Structure 1
Amino acid sequence: MHVPPIFIDVSADDQAQELRAYLKSLGAEISEEKSPKGLEDDLHKIIGVCDACFREGQETEVECVLNDIVSIMVSIPLERSENIILAFCEKLTKATGVKLGNVCLRALWLLFQSLDERSPMRYHVYYHLIVIAKTTDEIKSVFKDVDNLKQQFALCPPSNDQLQKLYRLLHEVLLKSNQSEQAAKVMIELLSTYTSENASQAREDAIRCITTALADPKTFLLDPLLSLKPVKFLEGDLIHDLLTIFVCENLESYMKFYKNHKEFVTQQGLNHEQNMQKMRLLSFMQLAETNQEITFEIIQKELQLGPEEVEPFIIEVLKTKLVRARMDQLVKKVFVSSTMHRTFGRAQWQQLRDLLHAWKSNLNSVHDGMKTITAAQIELMNQQ
């Protein structure tokens, strides 16, 4: 989000008095007289009643008032402005309606950008930015990705508790905005903040991470979740068993699990039909890893499809680009050229290493061949 800098050619005291007078004219319970306790007390009182200007259709005036408050706030030394900043953040989260919410979002973003990058208050401002973004559906304007978020706080990292609180909120907001992929990455970051000593405290977060990943139609590489300490702590629980099925087993295993634990699957907020579709895709990927040719008959049997469902299913698989293949309806076969692996462990790294070595060897052969041809051409030219 880009908010232009604001330059106001009047003193902070004069600005505060003008704001007092304006808010009083709107019916706010505030005196026009300066506080004898100084500018900080003035600002506290102004923030306490600034919502008097929060009216639909008056967004321009609201933005001017909020920007005035920000310009005064940043002129006060940080050690004396912490409570003022927190009060301002809380007040702005109370704005109702999308238009007013967006005005408040811009004002808080201006404050966030105005604070020194070493200021611990930037975390609190950013947290409230996400709170407002939740109601305005403008999360993309204040959150790009996890790496960018870490850069924002590189000079003053939040505490572990603060990060966990922020990641939980971000996960909720991203899901609400249909950004499931980003939400999954945020949840993995959240789980990575736990250690072996406190992993047991992350039970709810770990379960939420697993169910979000399973429900996301775009998430297929699930085995990294198994290495997270809070997820390891769930070993022996039904949710861990279900995750393991999605990581390395087939549709038949899932169907057996569902038959025995229907109520559990429903309680997790998971949709059985969507689970089946995802397991069919994963099972097909598993088949494609070890078979360059797959008959329609095998696909029908392994994925529990009707004869008329095979071709539409293969078309859907090819659309996902998880598997690169060619379908031949005449011979009723699928010819696989490549596939994404469901898991990426030591065997896959070794396979990649062997492939890169083969490429390197082939490139060296081509290079040597070109050198030979070049030398022969030079010799021929010299003879002429």
Structure 2
Amino acid sequence: MIVFLNGLKQVLELRQFLKSKGAEISEEADEGGLVQDLAAIIQAMDVVWKEDEKDVESVMNSVISLLLILDPGKQEELVQSLSEKLSKTKEAAHACLRLQLLSNLFHGIEGNTVVRYAVYCSLIHLASSCGAIQQIPTELEQVRKWMSEWKLTMEQKQQLLRLLYESLVDMKKRPSKIFLSEKAEQFEAKLYSDKASKVMVELLGSYTEENASQARDDAHRCIVRALRDPTTFLFDHLVVLKPVRFLEGELIHDLLTIFVSGRLSSYMKFYSANKDFVESLGLSHQLNVSKLRLLTFMGMAVESTEIAFGTIQEELQIEEAEVEAFVIDAVRTKMVHCKIDQLQRKVIVTCSTHRTFGRQQWQQLYDCLVSWNQNLTQIRTSLLSISNS
């Protein structure tokens, strides 16, 4: 068992322990000093994974404690080496411990140094590989703050965001390790889907007109995954991203445009002409039709507060007997609020989510707020008049 000592004694203890376990390392300290000692120790530590978890933890924490006393300028290469050892070792054992050790290293390093970047990337890699991404901080607001503090280059930011995105997408596809109800599983999947979408939008938003072409594959994947996600219905935030705009004129962009503002009839025409393309993307035609029915209905609900059953049948290409069931399912998504008038065979709309939110919608919102403010002012004036009378 390793005990925490200081400086040279601690290095010698580590060297002797590793040597006793069969590592090819000298028991003598390196003349190059602590940096060279740590480099040799980290290189030789593969033998540790076969030991008892307490010994593994003791050795690793000892190495981490030595790393943290180095000047930040001397830490980077060693920290990166240790992070890779902890995150990419072939040993499947000690996954939880390795995650905890990486977390200790991450939180022990000075907060505003770029050295933390390598550790955080390793944390994501390890957490993703063992299905534990929920155990590390992944909120986009926090990640933005760190990227600013670490003064990352644009390439580093994009690498980090891409890694985080892939990990969140992978976590969304993994079955939960604990028993959850169907509703809870759907909520968890939606949570990771939303997080992944926000990260991808952040990634694509980091590109400029000059380098948007470099993100073509990312933009393509982003569109496909958004269309494939059964819980995603709004896509207008994607079309303004420069890498997505770079795809204009391609079939994938045409398909996205239909989901942004088109109707079911437009999709059916597109599918008829490009069936092989849609299937090559791994998209479900049935899911696409279901989404476009809801999106078409949302568009109709924005345009009119009363919609006849016959109009719904025609636009959504369903039978009259299916109308009520469809409306009930639409209300469950909370994208539309309405009620069914069975006697008059129509749907009464109270409100609907806008599929796109542009200048016109902002103006409508502004007008509503102005009217609301005026009404409150009138009420206040009336109340003051009554109280003074």
Distance of 1:329 and 1:107 partners within structure 2? 63
- The 8 Å contact of residues 117 and 153 in structure 1, kept in 2 or not, is answered as no
- Asked if 1:92 is matched to 2:90, the reply is no
RMSD: 1.9
- The 8 Å contact of residues 95 and 101 in structure 1, kept in 2 or not, is answered as no
Q: CA 1:329 to 1:25, structure 2 compared with 1: closer, same or farther past 3 Å?
A: farther
| Mean Cα deviation higher: 352-361 or 133-142 | 133-142
Distance of 2:254 and 2:299 partners within structure 1? 19
Distance of 2:159 and 2:266 partners within structure 1? 36
Partner of residue 341, structure 1: 354
Tell me which amino acid in the other structure corresponds to 1:71.
S
Tell me which amino acid in the other structure corresponds to 1:40.
V
Cα deviation, residue 96, structure 1: 4.8
Partner of residue 213, structure 1: 226
Partner of residue 20, structure 1: 15
Cα deviation, residue 107, structure 1: 1.4
Pick the aligned partner of 1:198 from 170, 186, 211: 211
Pick the aligned partner of 2:157 from 143, 160, 163: 163
Note the residue ranges of structure 1 that are not aligned, 5 or more in a row.
1-7, 377-384
Tell me which amino acid in the other structure corresponds to 1:54.
W
SS class of match (1:177): helix
Pick the aligned partner of 1:61 from 55, 60, 63: 55
Q: CA 1:329 to 1:143, structure 2 compared with 1: closer, same or farther past 3 Å?
A: farther
Pick the aligned partner of 1:48 from 43, 51, 62: 43
- The 8 Å contact of residues 181 and 216 in structure 1, kept in 2 or not, is answered as no
Pick the aligned partner of 1:354 from 351, 359, 367: 367
Partner of residue 283, structure 1: 296
- Asked if 1:150 is matched to 2:174, the reply is no
Tell me which amino acid in the other structure corresponds to 1:295.
A
SS class of match (1:269): coil
State the TM-score, normalizing by the size of structure 1.
0.90
Mapping of residues 66-85 of structure 1, within 5 Å? 66-85=60-79
- The 8 Å contact of residues 86 and 98 in structure 2, kept in 1 or not, is answered as yes
Cα deviation, residue 199, structure 1: 1.1
Partner of residue 257, structure 1: 270
Q: Could you list the per-position Cα deviations for residues 128-176 of structure 1 after superposition, in whole angstroms to 9, with x for gaps in the alignment?
A: 1111111022222223321110112332221111111111111111111
Cα deviation, residue 9, structure 1: 5.7
- The 8 Å contact of residues 29 and 49 in structure 1, kept in 2 or not, is answered as yes
Cα deviation, residue 99, structure 1: 5.8
SS class of match (1:30): coil
Partner of residue 123, structure 1: 117
Cα deviation, residue 102, structure 1: 2.4
- The 8 Å contact of residues 174 and 183 in structure 1, kept in 2 or not, is answered as yes
Distance of 1:200 and 1:28 partners within structure 2? 48
Distance of 2:331 and 2:201 partners within structure 1? 28
| Mean Cα deviation higher: 233-242 or 108-117 | 108-117
Q: Percent identity?
A: 44
Q: CA 1:368 to 1:92, structure 2 compared with 1: closer, same or farther past 3 Å?
A: same
Partner of residue 379, structure 1: none
State the TM-score, normalizing by the size of structure 2.
0.89
SS class of match (1:45): helix
Distance of 2:56 and 2:337 partners within structure 1? 55
- Asked if 1:234 is matched to 2:228, the reply is no
Distance of 1:22 and 1:307 partners within structure 2? 78
| Mean Cα deviation higher: 233-242 or 139-148 | 139-148
Tell me which amino acid in the other structure corresponds to 2:240.
S
Tell me which amino acid in the other structure corresponds to 1:119.
T
Q: Could you list the per-position Cα deviations for residues 234-265 of structure 1 after superposition, in whole angstroms to 9, with x for gaps in the alignment?
A: 11111110111000010110111111111111
Distance of 1:73 and 1:24 partners within structure 2? 20
Q: Could you list the per-position Cα deviations for residues 206-261 of structure 1 after superposition, in whole angstroms to 9, with x for gaps in the alignment?
A: 11121122122222221121111111111111111011100001011011111111
Partner of residue 299, structure 1: 312
Partner of residue 176, structure 2: none
Q: CA 1:99 to 1:148, structure 2 compared with 1: closer, same or farther past 3 Å?
A: farther
SS class of match (2:94): helix
Cα deviation, residue 101, structure 1: 2.3
Cα deviation, residue 302, structure 1: 1.1
SS class of match (1:324): strand
Partner of residue 112, structure 1: 106
Distance of 1:17 and 1:116 partners within structure 2? 26
- The 8 Å contact of residues 258 and 267 in structure 2, kept in 1 or not, is answered as yes
- The 8 Å contact of residues 4 and 10 in structure 2, kept in 1 or not, is answered as no
| Mean Cα deviation higher: 328-337 or 86-95 | 328-337
Distance of 2:374 and 2:388 partners within structure 1? 21
Aligned length: 368
Cα deviation, residue 197, structure 1: 1.0
Q: CA 1:98 to 1:177, structure 2 compared with 1: closer, same or farther past 3 Å?
A: farther
Cα deviation, residue 70, structure 1: 0.8
Tell me which amino acid in the other structure corresponds to 1:18.
E
SS class of match (2:339): strand
Pick the aligned partner of 1:102 from 92, 96, 100: 96
- Asked if 1:11 is matched to 2:25, the reply is no
